[in-house]
Amino acid sequence: MWIKDLRLLCSLLLFSFSFSGVLAQQRTLTGQVKNKAQEPLYPASVKLIDDSATIIRFALTNQQGKYTLTIPAPASPLWLEVSYVGYKKARLAITAARSEYDFILQPDGTQLDTVTVRLQPSIRLSGDTLKYYVAGFADKDDRSIGDVLRRMPGIEIMADGTIYFNGQKVENLYIHGDDLMDGRYSLATKVIRKEMIERVDVISHHQPIRVLQDKVFTDKTAINLVLKDENSLKLTARLQGGAGLPGLYEAGMSPVLLNKRIKMLQTLAVNNSGVDYRNELASQGAAPFSTPLASSPADVSLSMATIGPPDLPLANYYFNRSGIIHLNNLYNTSKGLQLKANIQGYIDRNSLSYFHRLDNYTQNDTITYLERQSYINKPAILNAAFTVMANRTRGFFNNVTRLQWSKETGSSAMDFNEQSFTQQLRKNVRQFSNDLRWMPALRGKGIGEFGWQTSYRRDRQLLSIGKDYYATLPGQEGYYDAVQQQLTTPTFSSHAYAGYKLTGDRLNQEYKIGFMLSRQPLATALHMEKDGQFIPYAGDDGNDLHWNKQDVYVSGNWQYNRDPWRLTLQLPLTWQHIRYSDPAYNLRERTTRLLFTPSFQARYTISTEQFFSAGYERRNNFGDLSHVYRGALLSNYRMLQANAAGLLQRSTDAFNLDYSYQQSIKMFFSNVGITYDRTLSQTVLSTRITDNIQQIVYLPYENRLTRFGIQGGLSQYLFALKTTASLKARFSRMQYVQFINDALQPFYSNTVLLTGNLLKKPLNKIHLSYQPNVQWSYTRMKALKEGQRSFTQRTFRFDQYGTIGLTVLKKCVVEATARHSYSRASQGDPVQYFFLDSELRYRLSPKGIDCKLQLTNLFNVATYTRYSLSANQAVLDQYFIRGRMAMLRIDYYL
């Protein structure tokens, strides 16, 4: 079975070596560019061009006027062309016997003194900022700035809209220096037209707070979209409409106004064609101006299903009726005050049908769960955030008030192990929070800091399982008319702190003291209904848990800067007091601990574009209320949870080593990193598996979990091939233990993942893209003593995505997209799928209208099967997905 995988890997490696051999047939050209007075010209543009004047390589001269250029083995005559402002261009033919080409440029007598011409290459490095000029990467078929970002080497946009640069997550996306989207930037990349943006600045070591700029170092990366006209008052808009079969529709509008004072980006849209708006509600970026260190409430949740969605593009399986309103408005006053409002509203009705088989391997048996479910989910969300900010060099002030409301209603028809019943789920969440932060500059080099964050959240949930459900509840097994699980968790939290920063030429110091408070009661009740009577669960009294946590902390942070080293040491010391009680179980516990969580980071800079970094972090925590409640909680139809251990105590030692190297002018980016962490906890997860239900309990037992990973990435624009190519690789290993039906089982897992991406435009009328993904995984449940069962599972998966497009009649593009998936597991036959989509796109210019005829799933694949394995489980999921669809879309750009 694995010989085929080895042959496939060898073929890929052979292709890679062959391709590398082609690239290796290169030679290096050098030379110097001067004027008649023998003065070096800097920065002069040196281009390698072919017969059609296509640029194959590009370089700039240094301050001595020298350049170096690596060229491929020529298949046609090549020339070197040199240009510099105020001088005539010069060109020399490349010969095989010559590798040094010097130029003496002649003054251009026709140039007017009053005219200034600037040479702007497609990419330029200026300090910590890498500037991509949009005109150098944009294609005539691109509409949004997101289309252009995907063509820029080193930049990667994930499916949810999150942006990565050279392997590092982009913390935020700014529009002409302003955080208009409040971290939800995926929408902005879709609706901002590329014509509005002059360049994309990737800012390393980004410090968004001006009073700290050039004083406090960060390792964050941000992107800033620089407007072409910062004084424009022109309102642009994108209007969308579409209709198709079977019964599909789509409509939307997105007005945009962007200048240095006013920024406005709104969206109103509806569809039932598989377009998902949820990524536009999620935050892809961080909150750079908000209070750090705020604690999150424990997540205790009920559900109707035990599996997730298929690993397919949403348009293939997302049966929806969705609507969204996204309002983002920002105003900068003349006195430096910024006012901002971000409001999102979302409604949806989505459905999914699937078949699920789960084989649980225990020491004495194999227990199988079979289920078939069709569910409908109706979420509704409303978020609002209002911000007042003053970000000045002499001080920083920020206040954010947030209101959040969400409601979710779900229903399903379930067949589980030959039982047929219905389910209903209700969730209602309300939250209010306020975050105040003030950072004044003090006398000398001191900076003060004060903050207060407070939040209140109320979460109510109700899971109802209908008639004919056989409740496998200890002591109360049987059929009931209904089984209901209620859950309520109101949460109040507060965080207040004060700090002082002292900046110096080489040493920066920061000292902080703070107080955090969290109160979170948990109330649950499980009861059955039969013949009109409510019967409480007899196994226990439910939960009436009262949870209180108080933290008082002091922290010191020191940054030492002396080229080429930058060292950061953080020494937080926290006094933590946790108190929780539940009278029904005579539970009354208090825990007081002194937690020391040091961290250290070192960075060694070799050059502006090359550095090493390493770090160590110690984490200590005591978990939350989800690990200490004693009453049974029916979290879904086959999972009953409770706890028998005390407070979860966990300590983690984490290490990392990273290397980054890039050559911006040559558009080459690379990174590699190693991570290792070891976690020691005083509790272990215990799962008891029976024919119809799983009981999950945390038990007091020392447990050690270790994880190791190594990852790397390459991205390069290949001038000779007119191609952007990238490759990522990752290996991860994990070890841990778990009790299964009272037997202690060690688990091991290894995963290897390879991902590539190729964007190529071989001719002006043809464009290609190809993305392969290969994954190997190995999991093992090891026997500790003779007579115990040992399981080993292996899986292999190969996915590939390809697109080819042809421009015909200048304004018409025909495009085909193919997706192929092949997977094989230790158990079961290989599974493969082939999806084919097509698109005909016609542009009515200069009207700004795009017409698209899209055909999806041309082969009408109606079901999709997925295998997944762990050391003690084998899973088969079969989903019923959308069949063939046809959609006519019209986009109008005002």
Please write the tens of the pLDDT for every residue from 535-566.
Answer: 888 888 889 999 999 999 999 999 998 889 99
Place 761 in a pLDDT band, splitting at 50, 70 and 90.
confident
3 state DSSP class of 247 = coil
Asked if 797 and 775 count as a contact pair (C-beta separation under 8 A), the reply is: yes
> Is the confidence at residue 1, as pLDDT, over 60?
no
For the entire predicted model, the pTM comes to: 0.80
Residue bearing the bigger pLDDT, 471 or 111: 471
Tens of pLDDT, residues 624-655: 888 888 888 988 888 888 877 778 788 999 99
pLDDT(300) > 70: yes
**Residues near 108 by beta carbon (within 8 Å), at least 6 away in sequence:** 86, 87, 88
Residue 8 CA to residue 800 CA, distance in Å, equals 14
Which region holds residue 860: left if phi is over 0, alpha if psi is between -120 and 50, else beta?
left
What is the rounded distance in angstroms from the CA atom of residue 220 to the CA atom of residue 209? Answer: 13
Percent of the chain with pLDDT over 70: 92
pLDDT digits 0-9 by tens, 671-706: 999 999 999 987 777 777 777 777 777 777 788 899
Using DSSP's 3-state secondary structure scheme, residue 133 falls into: strand
Average pLDDT over residues 649-664: 91
405-460 pLDDT per residue, tens: 999 999 999 998 888 899 999 999 999 999 999 999 998 889 999 999 999 999 99
Average pLDDT of the chain, as a whole number = 86
- What is the per-residue DSSP string for 712-734? EEEEEEETTTTEEEEEEEEEEEE
Out of 65-69, 224-228, 432-436, 778-782, least confident range: 778-782
DSSP annotation of 292: S
> Average pLDDT, stretch 20-40?
72
Kindly report, residue by residue over 133-159, the tens digit of the pLDDT.
888 888 777 888 998 998 888 888 888
* The pair of three-digit structure tokens given for residue 450, joined into one six-digit string: 């004060």
What is the CB-side half-sphere exposure of residue 296 using CA atoms within 13 A? 4
* Interval 326-368: pLDDT, tens: 999 999 998 889 999 999 999 999 999 999 988 887 777 788 8
- pLDDT class of 45 with cuts at 50, 70, 90: confident
Alpha-carbon distance of 838 to 689, in angstroms, equals 47
Q: Is the pLDDT of residue 7 over 50?
A: no
- Does the structure show a pLDDT above 60 at 772? yes
The DSSP secondary-structure symbol of 144 reads B
pLDDT interval class at 126 (50, 70, 90): confident
For residue 16, is pLDDT > 50?
A: no
Please tell me which residue, 617 or 14, carries the higher pLDDT value: 617
| CA 653/CA 667 separation, integer angstroms | 37
The listed range with the strongest mean pLDDT (108-112, 213-217, 778-782, 883-887) is 883-887
pLDDT of residue 506: 87
Residue 271's DSSP bridge partners are: 250, 322
Distances in Å between the Cα of 626 and the Cα atoms of 301, 728, 884 are: 10, 37, 44
Q: What are phi and psi of 583, to 5 degrees?
A: -60, -30
What is the mean predicted confidence (pLDDT) over 363-392? Answer: 91
Could you tell me whether strands 366-392 and 319-332 are parallel, antiparallel, or unpaired per DSSP bridges? Answer: unpaired
pLDDT tens-place string over residues 814-850? 999 999 999 888 767 788 899 999 999 888 766 678 8
Contact call for residues 822 and 795 (beta carbons, < 8 A): no
Cβ neighbours around 484 below 10 Å, total: 17
Model confidence at 177: pLDDT above 80:
yes
Tens digit of each residue's pLDDT (9 = 90 or more) over 462-507: 999 988 887 777 777 788 888 999 999 999 999 999 999 998 888 9
Q: Is 702 helix (H, G, I), strand (E, B) or coil?
A: strand
Specify the higher pLDDT residue, 121 or 288.
288
Give the pair of three-digit tokens for residue 747: 């688990």
* Phi/psi of residue 22, nearest 5 degrees: -65, -45
Of the listed ranges 23-32, 493-502, 712-721, the least confidently predicted one is: 23-32
Summarize the confidence of residues 770-792 as an average pLDDT: 80
**Tokens standing for 769?**
């893209």
